[in-house]
Amino acid sequence: MQAIATSSVNAIDVNLPAEEGDPAADARLFRRCLGQYGTGIAIITGESDGRRAAVTVNSFSSVSLDPPLILWSIARTSRSFPIFTGGGRFAVNILSSQQMDVSRHFSSKIEDKFADSAWSPGAYGTPLIDGCLAHLECETHSLVEGGDHVIVIGLVKRASRFEGTPLLFSQGQYSIAESHPETSPTPEASGAMPDTTSEGTIVSQIFEVHNLLSSVFDEHRRAEGVDISVARVLACLYDADGLKADQLAAATYLGQRDTEDAVAELSRRSLLTNTGGSLSLTPAGRQVREAIKRRWQDFQQAQIAGIPEADLKSTIRTLSKLIDQNKTMQ
């Protein structure tokens, strides 16, 4: 059967889709569309006949309050598939913003995922991972066929909540939650004047400015024809030529699939070569990376142009202090 090209990518125009096509013919397009829906991250843990299993998922969702039901889906290709579809117990471990490395660890293919992890058995013997925001200990309620996945519906027998903020995943990247600026009371509404000397205000502004600058710089990346995943792969390979796909996924903090998508996109555009698993940028790939770098430098210059030197120095001192004190806490 002849393959038909069904997808198309458009120049930037807010009234047009950035890309569109048939999801059955273009899995990457489909995944990128799904990635527009932000989720949390959970580790599903289980044990059957003395064998433990754990997978990182973002397919977790609530189903029902009465009875308390949740669902998630497992890929048929997962090594843990037989354990989780055997009808036994499992636990949902909802990750906190401090647990990005835990997510990466449990999504990897290492042999014993529990060997270097902090966990303890729950009330039903299922492994519960330390430091999570919530543990939901479940028994399997039902399994539903779902194409290349099986949907596992769990009846929650025990639920525990801990304090903290969630780890999020959207557009193929990990992120942390920040209240939408429009949900915070404005100084006028609260009757307070903006207090730029209060640490609370400075910290909120750092988050706000980070989000704003990231989304504004996104347009510069798109002008070079790359999204953030592709830009990260370009940046990593520019500095460390010859990485393998799994090293690249670790270095870019992208999931395995998003790294593979970015690599496929770059090689489709002849910006990357794969020699026996070692990935390198072509001269054209290096040029795109350099163009983004130049845009970043110009962008930074333009942002601070006109701000007095003394103000910049004092801001840098404050930011360095915040970085130092938090680095030592990690």
Ligand X SMILES: Cc1cc2nc3c(=O)[nH]c(=O)nc-3n(C[C@H](O)[C@H](O)[C@H](O)COP(=O)(O)O)c2cc1C
Query: Is residue 145 part of the contact set for ligand X (CB under 6 A)?
Result: no
Q: Which of 41, 92, 102, 128 binds ligand X (CB under 6 A)?
A: 41
Q: Decide whether 56 or 252 has the Cβ nearer to ligand X.
A: 56
Residues 70, 76 contacting (CB under 8 angstroms): no
Among 26, 46, 47, 56, contact with ligand X (rule: CB under 6 A): 56
Is residue 83 within 8 Å of residue 48, measured between CB atoms? Answer: yes
- Contact between 80 and ligand X by CB under 6 A: the answer reads yes
- Residue 78 in the binding site for ligand X (CB under 6 A): yes
Out of 1, 13, 36, 109, name the contact with ligand X by CB under 6 A. Answer: 109
- Please state, in angstroms and as integers, the Cα–Cα distance from residue 226 to each residue in 51, 130, 232, 288, following that order: 43, 38, 10, 9
Q: Does 58 bind ligand X (CB under 6 A)?
A: yes
Residues 140 and 151 sit within 8 Å (Cβ to Cβ): no
Is residue 249 involved in binding ligand X (CB under 6 A)?
no
The DSSP bridge partners found for residue 137 are 91, 158
Q: Quick one: which of 73, 140, 274, 282 contacts ligand X (CB under 6 A)?
A: 73
Tell me the two tokens of residue 98.
């401090």
The beta-strand segments (E) located in 130-219 are 134-146, 149-161, 167-170, 173-176
**Least CB distance from residue 152 to ligand X, whole Å?**
10
Is 85 a binding residue for ligand X by CB under 6 A? The answer is no
Which residues, at least 6 apart from 144, have a Cβ–Cβ distance to it below 8 Å? 150, 151, 153
User: Which tokens belong to 310?
Assistant: 């003394």
Could you say which of 35, 127, 255, 285 contacts ligand X (CB under 6 A)? 255
Secondary-structure breakdown of the chain: helix, strand, coil percentages, each rounded to the nearest 5: 40, 25, 35
175 makes contact with ligand X (CB under 6 A) = no
Please identify which residue in 26, 45, 55, 252 interacts with ligand X, judged by CB under 6 A.
55
Identified binder of ligand X from the candidate list 70, 74, 138, 292, rule CB under 6 A: 74
Q: Which one of 126, 169, 231, 288 is in contact with ligand X (CB under 6 A)?
A: 169
Do the Cβ atoms of 203 and 323 come closer than 8 Å? no
Q: Which residues bind ligand X (CB under 6 A)?
A: 41, 55-59, 73-75, 78-80, 106-107, 109, 169, 255
